Homo-oligomer: A and B are copies of this chain.
Amino acid sequence: MDVKDYVIKQLGRTKNKKYEQYVVSRIIHLLNDFDVKFVTQQYVARPEGRALTDLFFPQIRLHIEVDEEHHKANIEDDKVREADIVNATNHEVMRVDVSKSLDDINNDIDLIVKAIRNKVDTLKSQNSFIAWDLDAEFSSDTYINKGYIDVMDNVAFRTIKEACNCFGHNYSGYQKASAPHPNDNEVMLWFPKLYPNNDWNNNISNDEEIITERNEDNEKAREHVISHKSNKEKHKHQRIVFARVKGNLGDVLYRFRGLYKLSLLDSNEEAGLVWKRVASKVKTYPRG
């Protein structure tokens, strides 16, 4: 997928609301800056629950909502559970009230486009704007060179291999759901499905701070908890987590969630293993 493909596909998805396509395409065309990444219909997790925003600019953490009076967001749980959900706490939301006249809507969009440009310019003046690059954003090299991976940067990889290679591996292919950390013996790299799947009843909280992991079978859940609590050497009590999700174009992504630590206090055969986030930014290492 190149930028052209990406842009066409993203803009082609905007059909939920009557005015969504107009507003979204107008913002993208008037902004006219494909160094600025955008995502349409982005699932977000907020303290008050999950939602779908109409347009998301990850680099400046800005969401645009098309406010239609009679539109009710219809978020089906079984559709959303695999979805790439971005934590939007502290993200900004700008709204377009489409009950106004076309001229007024267009004026509001002009102001939004100006605001986006200002935000980008501010980042640029702080030397912290990284132009959108579809290849670089999914490459381990980008994050090895950067020295870290930060949740704030909305990091996701297309393959487990690329994620592993950020920590000292040099895999040309890797399929397992976990891998050792070559540079930290106490940490494991983990690529879980954080929703109920097969025999596992996994979950991540909306604020991404707590992951629970429990087998649906009570006996297995008990063994699982006991084994992990008792054998720190084998199981590791810290995990760098990349959640396996479906991107909004249907592609598989491994979305960075942070470094999680097993809570011995909260983990038990009822709750399963409870992992708590201890860092949202982790160090990267050159390839071994």
B-binding residues in A (CB < 8 A): 3-4, 7-8, 11-12, 18-19, 21-22, 25-26, 29-30, 32, 34, 101-102, 105-106
Cβ-defined contact, B34 with A4, below 8 A = no
> A8-B18, A8-B22, A29-B25 are contacts. A3–B34 as well, Cβ < 8 Å?
no
Tell whether, in the assembled complex, residue A11 and residue B22 are in contact, meaning their CB atoms are under 8 Å apart: yes
Q: A102 contacts which chain B residues (CB < 8 A)?
A: 3-4, 7, 34
Contacts A/B (CB < 8 Å), 21 sampled: A4-B102, A4-B105, A7-B102, A8-B18, A11-B21, A11-B22, A11-B25, A12-B18, A12-B21, A12-B22, A21-B21, A21-B25, A22-B25, A25-B25, A25-B26, A25-B29, A26-B29, A29-B30, A30-B30, A30-B32, A34-B102
What is the minimal beta-carbon distance from A165 to any residue of chain B, in angstroms? 29
A4 to B98, CA, bound (A): 10
Give every chain B residue within 8 A of A22 (Cβ-Cβ). 7-8, 11-12, 25
Q: Which B residue's beta carbon lies closest to that of A102?
A: B4
Chain B residues with Cβ below 8 Å from A21 are: 11-12, 21, 25
| Cα-based distance from A99 to B26 in the complex (angstroms) | 23
Copies of this protein, total = 2
A57 shortest CB reach to chain B, Å: 17
For A18, the chain B residues whose CB sits under 8 A away are 8, 12
**CA gap between A227 and B194 in the complex, in Å:** 82
Instruction: Closest B residue to A12 by CB, please name it.
Output: B21
Docked Cα-Cα span, A101 to B2, in Å, equals: 10
Q: How far is the CA of A49 from the CA of B25 in the complex (A)?
A: 33
Closest 7 CB pairs of A and B: A25-B25, A4-B102, A29-B29, A26-B29, A8-B22, A3-B102, A11-B22
CB distance from A80 to the nearest CB of B (A): 25
- Bound state CA distance, A11 and B4, in angstroms? 20
Contact B25 A19 (CB under 8 A): no
Q: Write the chain B residue with the least CB distance to A103.
A: B34
Residues of B within 8 A of A7 (CB): 22, 102
In the complex, chain B residues whose CB is within 8 Å of the CB of A4 = 101-102, 105
Q: What B residues does A32 contact at CB under 8 A?
A: 30, 106
- Residue numbers in B under 8 Å from A19 (CB-CB): 8
19 further interface pairs, Cβ-Cβ under 8 Å (given A4-B102, A21-B21, A21-B25): A3-B102, A4-B101, A4-B105, A7-B22, A7-B102, A8-B22, A11-B21, A11-B25, A12-B18, A12-B21, A12-B22, A25-B25, A25-B26, A26-B29, A29-B29, A29-B30, A30-B30, A32-B106, A34-B102
